[in-house]
Homo-oligomer: A and B are copies of this chain.
Amino acid sequence: MGYIGELLKGSTDSLLLALIKEKPMYGYQLIKELERRSKGYFKFKEGTIYPALHRLEEDRLIVGTWEKLSNGQERRYYRLTRKGEEALSSRMNIWQEFAKAVNLVVEPPQDRKRV
């Protein structure tokens, strides 16, 4: 899979929730938006995003609705639920704690840098 792929485990859901919180979005759009915002760093695969969205919907953190464009195209727009908002803020907190713990290990206390 590669090292970045391993780092993503546990972060993908938070990234998706954070974007969907801003405004309703659909799968393909999320892939493009993640790439755009990260200045090309994230290049999520469809095999990652779509199953992730299905998991999040199954867990009731997001709800999807099919919407038909004038040209006939169909998109599934996802919105954040109340439960999703809570999950996002909880995950953000955990992420902060986690990053702090990593820094405590890799940067011994006497020469800690500001985070």
Contacts and interface: CB of A to CB of B under 8 A. Distances in A.
B15 A102 contact: yes
Contacts of A48: none
Contacts of A7: 9-11, 94-95, 98
A105 B37 contact: yes
- A contact residues, range: 35 or more
Query: How often does this chain occur in the complex, in copies?
Result: 2
Interface in A76-103: 91-92, 94-95, 97-102
A115 interface: yes
Interface in A13-50: 14-15, 18-19, 22, 34, 37-39, 41-42
Contacts of A18: 105-106
A9 B7 CA distance: 6
> What are the nearest 5 A-B pairs in CB distance?
A6-B10, A41-B101, A7-B10, A38-B101, A9-B9
